[in-house]
Amino acid sequence: MTQSQIEQEFINANIDGINELKKVYKTLARKLHPDVGGSTELFKILNTVYNDILENGIKFSQDSEFDLEIEKIISQILHYENIIILVIGNWIWLQGNTKPIKDNLKEIGFKWASKKKQWYYGEMKGRSPKQKSMNDIKSKYGCQTVRTKIREKISN
């Protein structure tokens, strides 16, 4: 097994979070560990690939530019208070108290989804005649919450 084959195992797996990543790692470790018939060199390569994915995420060659764009957009909105940032597929959705920052969101490139009452960033490639709920969209594309912390005023 080569490094590219090990990387391909991670890419082929449907990894939605750290737990799925660990499962793939453990499966490969059972095959490549020197105590079970693998080699020290292959196990070192597995650990290098795993640590790289933990630090940088899986980079798909055709999506790497958009991944950087998503990170850039999130860094521009992360400092706003009272919002929840969701990454669903190739879109960023904002929930919470967004009214005070709506002009800033428009400047960045967010659009208002009037039926969902949320802001989104991303390209809509086609219009579906049937509206999909946020739960349908999340189940189809997967969802990662970037920030859920909503600051509350402390009353004495």
- Token digits of residue 49: 């690939």
The answer to whether residue 105 scores a pLDDT higher than 60 is yes
In DSSP terms, 86 is beta-bridged to: 93, 145
Shared-domain flag, residues 86 and 50: no
Shared-domain flag, residues 75 and 121: yes
Q: Could you tell me the residue range of the domain that residue 91 belongs to?
A: 64-147
Question: What pTM was estimated for this model as a whole?
Answer: 0.52
Shared-domain flag, residues 22 and 39: yes
Average pLDDT over residues 114-140: 79
Q: How far is CA 78 from the centre of its chain?
A: 15
Range in 32-36, 49-53, 123-127, 131-135 the model is least confident about:
123-127
